[in-house]
Amino acid sequence: MTLSSIEYIVRWEKMDNESISIMVVEDNPADVLLIQEMLKEINNTYFKIVTTDRLNKALNQIYIMISMQYSLIWV
């Protein structure tokens, strides 16, 4: 499984038909799955999760939240 530009929609009960966009900058697929599972515990919310393994890819768009590993490669 490659993480470059993989996009997930995690859905639960609707909240004003809007989703929260979250960029996950992570090079470990297991950690991406962990974050998804944690977000599933938040009720009444849609999350649009975009993942990448490089920070420079994340900086091209605006997100409400960016979750990243501190030691991840920048380029």
Structure confidence by residue, pLDDT tens digits, 1-53: 444 444 444 444 444 556 777 778 788 888 888 888 888 887 777 788 878 77
- Is residue 65 a contact partner of residue 20, using CB atoms and an 8 Å limit? yes
Q: List the one residue out of 50, 48, 49, 44 whose CA is nearest residue 12.
A: 44
Please report, as a single letter, which amino acid is at residue 51: T
Q: What is the pLDDT of residue 56?
A: 72
In this structure, is residue 48 part of a structural domain? Answer: yes
Domain of residue 50: give its range: 6-68
0.75 cut: is pTM over it? no
Q: List the one residue out of 14, 9, 7 whose CA is nearest residue 47.
A: 9
In this structure, is residue 46 part of a structural domain? Answer: yes
Compute the distance between CA of residue 26 and CA of residue 40 in angstroms, rounded to an integer.
Answer: 18
In this structure, is residue 73 part of a structural domain? Answer: no
In this structure, is residue 1 part of a structural domain? Answer: no
Could you give the number of structural domains in the chain?
1
Q: List the one residue out of 13, 15, 34 whose CA is nearest residue 51.
A: 34
